[in-house]
Structure 1
Amino acid sequence: MLEYTASADFTIDNATDADLVAITDIYNEAIAERMSSADIGARTLEQRRAWVDSHEPRADYPVVVVRTADGATAAFGSLSRFHERAGFDGVVELSYYVGSAWRGQGIGTVLVDWLVDAARARGHRMAVTRIFDDNAGSTALMERFGFTRFGLLSDAVHMPGGIHHDLAYWYLPL
């Protein structure tokens, strides 16, 4: 099993079935906050299991969790196939979600660092991501890691309660 020690406080492990509840909870929290997911309704455990299982082959498209020193799952992230057409092979989509209780502690930085390194180690040639343009924390992370914003889809996301977001597109040559 892959294990990455980012610091004395956090480790990164391959996600297993035992992590599905935490992955689902963290993702559903992001949905409820309306700042990092365009889903508008909570996802079920089985829907998240299908999402994890879609990352095949797992050696190329990992799903990982960040654990705290006491074993709590604080975040998860993944590298996903960008597009099924073969000409896009080597381009991966990077995604990550940090539980609200653990934000501001460097976990997002540790996780993005791991995902970028993992994409390089697997021979991918480019990482891309999509972020709500008003998500200051994720925007700062992309800038910190040298991603370039290459597009903005204005008024792309409409959510209940009249919440609208522009969607920024970012890429990093690997």
Structure 2
Amino acid sequence: MEYKIEEMKPSDWDQVLEIYLEGIRTGLATFQTEAPTWEAWDKGHLKSCRLVLKSDDDIAGWVALSPTSSRACYEGVVEASIYINEKYRGKGLGTILLTEVIKQSEDNGIWSIYCAIIRENTKSIEMHKKCGFREIGIREKIAKMPNGIWHDVVIMERRSKVVGIS
């Protein structure tokens, strides 16, 4: 099967939203219990480095970056969100998508990508490690799911070797 990576467009939102909702339903991808509107999502993410991976017109996955602070000294520090459509999981597409957003982030002056992954989401943790992220800590019982279960979060980051190194 052939895949292509494209910039995410507002017209992709319906499929992006469905993939996000799949992630919510897993109970391992996010602590969110409902998805935002396009307007809220758009406002919270960088305008660059929003990518979809497509098979024909079907979106197999998406990735986007969010600023971690409004302070100028942290303008090159972002948080990554990546979600893969459940019918495409286990094919290495997340690694392809994450690798591309890392390249594009560096092209856009980003020097550090951070992520917080629910500890039981071991596949996501391994994918991030494969893409050069390292574990920097664990936040114990940081959030509780609606079912009352508390979860730890693994904090990971990837520091660019080409941006912000002087």
Give the TM-score normalised by structure 1: 0.85
Q: Secondary structure at the match of 1:39?
A: coil
Distance in 2 (CA, whole Å) between partners of 1:74 and 1:49 is 22
1:63 aligns with 2:50: yes
* Secondary structure at the counterpart of residue 147 of structure 2: helix
- Aligned partner of 1:34: which letter? G
Aligned 1:15-54 pairs, distance under 5 A: 15-40=8-33, 42-43=34-35, 47-54=37-44
The size of the alignment, in residue pairs, is: 160
Q: CA deviation at 1:128?
A: 0.9
Residues in 2 aligned to 1:137 and 1:168: alpha-carbon distance in whole angstroms: 12
User: Could you tell me how far 1:9 is from its partner in structure 2?
Assistant: 1.7
From the superposition, tell whether residues 10 and 53 of structure 1 become closer, same or farther in structure 2 (CA, over 3 Å): farther
* Structure 2 unaligned spans of 5+: 161-166
* Pairing of 1:69-88 with structure 2 (within 5 A): 70-88=56-74
Q: Secondary structure at 1:104's aligned position in 2?
A: coil
Give the corresponding residue for 1:153: 139
1:114 aligned to 100, 103, 109, which one?
100
Show CA shifts across 1:34-74 (max 9, x none). Answer: 1111102x325xx1342124434x2xx32111101x32011
Partner Cα distance (1:160, 1:50) in 2: 22
Judged with a 3 Å threshold, the aligned counterparts in structure 2 of structure 1 residues 152 and 23 are, in CA distance, closer, same or farther, namely same
Q: 2:49, 2:105 within 8 Å by CA — same for their partners in 1?
A: no
Q: Aligned partner of 2:95: which letter? A: T
Cα drift, residue 15 of structure 1: 1.2
Amino acid across the alignment from 1:55: H
Matched with 2:7 is 14
Alignment correspondent of 1:140:
126
Identity percentage of aligned residues? 26
What is the rounded CA distance, in whole Å, between the counterparts of 1:49 and 1:75 in structure 2? 20
TM-score, normalising length: structure 2: 0.89
Residues 89-147 of structure 1 deviation map (CA, whole Å, 9 limit, x = unaligned): 11121110001111011110111101111111112111111111111111101211221
